[in-house]
Chain A
């Protein structure tokens, strides 16, 4: 278990959730595990922030939810990306790319 995990960069959690859900529908716990796996434990997600973000995305119509059974036949709420959410993810990804490139250029300039 990585001890040096840090909180997610402010304002990016929504985008990361959308990205996670773009692969397949997932429940809350699955999303945290997936995020931690992909980032190799760099990011850790607090349950409070996660569920607030999920509620926010749902109200914005970017994701929807339904109750389904998990592989361990437990009932869980699965979140599914809506077409709107997919569009938002695309635009946010592009925007993020531009910003990172810009910041990198600033940092690399002597």
Chain B
């Protein structure tokens, strides 16, 4: 109550200052008047009485000030006065302020941009009610499909029967939902006549939306009833898809779309923010019930583990007890399903368990993938800001010295040091706030650029560049902290100046303490800059090594087309060969296309199939990783530019009836036939019974298909047409490679048309140049390298500006001394040396500190580097040379000025 009243009174006096002041005046006047009258009554003259009252009661003006100062609002007023004074003095030196504010804008903007990304990826929860109740069953991101026991016994992928068992036996969950660990590429068309278009889809259990607790924007969401074999097929559309592809047309709800050739009714649209269970680029456009999954046999199979589980715990339930219970249930279930685990892994069964992990942010996929990159970015941008702070502190120090006489006067007339520091800090914080506000724009643009760099090739990323509340708070606090960091040293130095010295002009002649501080700041800047430069050099070299490496194929003049599963277009095993033939004939007819080929997948598109093999005449061996494999058509190797080392390539003679053959890569040959020639040997997939399936007829050079950092995987290539009976059709051919003349992108429309002419039902998922496809593998590396380059460049400029400023300032202060030296016979070279020496000393100390730090931070980077050692001497030398050259250039300008000092004028200067 009393606090409230104080607050209210204070606010009242702040906002009604006029009236309060008038009242106080009136009260004091009447006080004086009454006192005076009494004295006159005692027989004094009026003038004497007034003087006596003043003597007795003290100056009333002072009394008024004292009354004002007593309330808390006077502190606010003081700050307000400081702010007004600060703004005025900042405007007085507007050029100076603009340079500082610009530096800060870049520094704070860069940091805020990185924070925006960091916040979205690492901190923000899923846009669903009460996300903290969500828990995931499992603690890693093993993908896709597994059998038997799981990594280190920690279950993360579940078979459908196991999911149902856990769902029905764990009442602690309000809902326990299942969904596929990967998204499906869907071929969708609205009506019979329209061309099919590619979309992303996710197959989810019927209670998926109930588990997340979200509402529909239109229509209704999926319910458990929809996930039943007898129910009509229903799908839920994402709001973004509804908006962007269907113009928010309400009649979409209830309409029927053909999805992968099946008729689905659109039940409704999810909430606008909802992007599914995982933060990722290109999130699902459609959610479909699990029962619609193309490989339906998996729903009944206890063998195949392919589902992620996320559940919503009932309020007040401790996750620990649920975790223990889930493991007991898992053990019980495995006990009843021994056949699920291969016999050799039976002793692993007691170790199988379930870890319950927080899923407020959904499945931590991007978090895991980008956490190192984001931490690196945060470090780089923090370094940049520190350098900027050092630079600004230096500028302010220099100006503080120029304002010394003003400061001295203020101290002399009784300003306290505290008030002075407050006032100067207010100025710094004002500058930082201006930089922070402008920095928000930079951050917005910067976040956009970061997203484009980080997710090159994505159509949509569910991360907003618009500053959210946490981002605004971050920018505000950062500005405040920045203002204090760069302002505290200059303010403190200024407050320590001795008024008497300053007024005498003594500060001018000597170097003084503040120059020492300035020089130390330069040393810090140089040290930080060399760290940034070396880091930028290492990351850039590493990226270039990655991009320019020998991939084992040629990317120039190649266009890669990805198709969506052909059975959606109505193809069966019998019809496929005809389609291949038509494509292989029609595509080379397009003007500009030199050759065309088909394959299961293309290099570095993100796809990799692997299978254990058995070599004829050898015992079974499942050690090491399983070799990769794919099917390719004739001319495949010529089209992508992979060279033949030995034997022959797959060509037209490898037809269904012909002897079954395989081409292997060098790594395969070296691994399985280290001492003999692989050609002529037989091998087969999986068990020994098949070991006579394929004869090796050729060896091609190693080409990287999946991992860009490590060596190529052992790989074998099979002819497109020589399929095993019953081999699944799904995904067998999803890539068309084209060798073209000229820019691959220019041929896109013609190729699209050519494919549509072969069959209008084929859905093109994407069409990119081979260069672009490969480049997308290095998004993260490129993001970090580009940012390190930009930051390194800025740091270099700032360091040079700082050195220039301090040197120039030192020269001005030493004009007198230089004049005397020249008068005593020093020539220009001596003077040049004198000035440059000091700059070189700062540079030298900075390098001496910075290089070991750069080496140490190189160790942190080591895991990120490709083909370059963290202590690469050439990069270290280059960075040091660049920094030294720029610094000398910056220092030589004022140094040359110094040599032009006229001794006569210099001596008169004092």
Contact = CB atoms under 8 A, between A and B. Distances in A.
Interface string B2-25: 100110011000000000000110
25 contacts: A27-B30, A27-B31, A29-B31, A32-B57, A33-B38, A44-B56, A46-B58, A46-B63, A47-B58, A47-B63, A48-B58, A48-B63, A49-B66, A51-B63, A51-B66, A52-B70, A55-B70, A58-B9, A59-B9, A61-B1, A74-B34, A75-B26, A77-B23, A77-B26, A77-B27
A74 B30 contact: yes
A87 interface: no
A4 B461 CA distance: 84
B812 to A, nearest CB: 48
Interface string B49-68: 00000001110101100110
B759 interface: no
A102 interface: no
Contacts of A45: 57
B325 to A, nearest CB: 59
B1 A48 contact: no
A75 to B, nearest CB: 7
A103 interface: no
A47 B70 contact: no
Q: Which 10 pairs between the two chains have the least Cβ-Cβ distance?
A: A48-B63, A48-B66, A47-B57, A29-B34, A52-B70, A47-B63, A51-B67, A29-B31, A46-B58, A59-B6
A51 B31 CA distance: 11
Interface string A55-66: 110111100000
A76 interface: yes
Interface string B23-47: 1101110110111011000000000
Contacts of A61: 1-2, 5
B508 to A, nearest CB: 43
B153 interface: no
Interface of A: 27-30, 32-33, 44-49, 51-52, 55-56, 58-61, 70, 72, 74-77
Chain B residues touching A, majority SS = helix
A55 B30 contact: no
A72 B33 CA distance: 11
B71 interface: yes
Nearest to A36: B56
Given A52-B66, A55-B70, A56-B70, A47 B34 contact: no
B30 A46 contact: no
Contact of A47 (B1, B10, B38, B60): B60
Contacts of B38: 33
Q: Which of B23, B27, B28, B37 has the most CB of A within 10 A?
A: B27
B57 A51 contact: no
Nearest to A77: B27
A110 to B, nearest CB: 40
B1 A28 contact: no
Contacts of A49: 66
Nearest to A31: B31
Contacts of B58: 46-48
B2 A29 contact: no
A29 B35 contact: yes
Given A55-B70, A77-B26, A77-B30, 20 more contacts: A27-B30, A27-B31, A33-B38, A46-B63, A47-B58, A48-B58, A48-B62, A59-B5, A59-B6, A59-B9, A59-B71, A60-B2, A61-B1, A61-B5, A72-B37, A74-B30, A74-B33, A75-B30, A76-B30, A77-B23
Contacts of A74: 30, 33-34
A48 to B, nearest CB: 4
A76 B56 contact: no
Contacts of B57: 32, 45-47
Nearest to B37: A72
Q: Which of A44, A49, A72 has the most CB of B within 10 A?
A: A49
A37 B63 CA distance: 23
B3 to A, nearest CB: 10
B30 A47 contact: no
Nearest to B8: A59
Contacts of B27: 28, 51, 76-77
Given A56-B70, A75-B30, A51 B6 contact: no
A50 B98 CA distance: 49
Given A52-B67, A55-B67, A59-B71, A47 B28 contact: yes
Nearest to A74: B30
B31 A28 contact: yes
A27 B27 CA distance: 9
A70 to B, nearest CB: 8
A59 to B, nearest CB: 5
B516 to A, nearest CB: 45
Contact of A29 (B6, B30, B71): B30
A17 to B, nearest CB: 14
A49 B56 CA distance: 13
A51 B70 CA distance: 10
Nearest to B62: A48
A41 to B, nearest CB: 11
Contacts of B70: 52, 55-56
Q: Which of A27, A33, A55, A72 has the most CB of B within 10 A?
A: A55
A4 to B, nearest CB: 14
A29 B31 CA distance: 5
Contacts of B2: 59-61
Interface string B74-116: 0000000000000000000000000000000000000000000
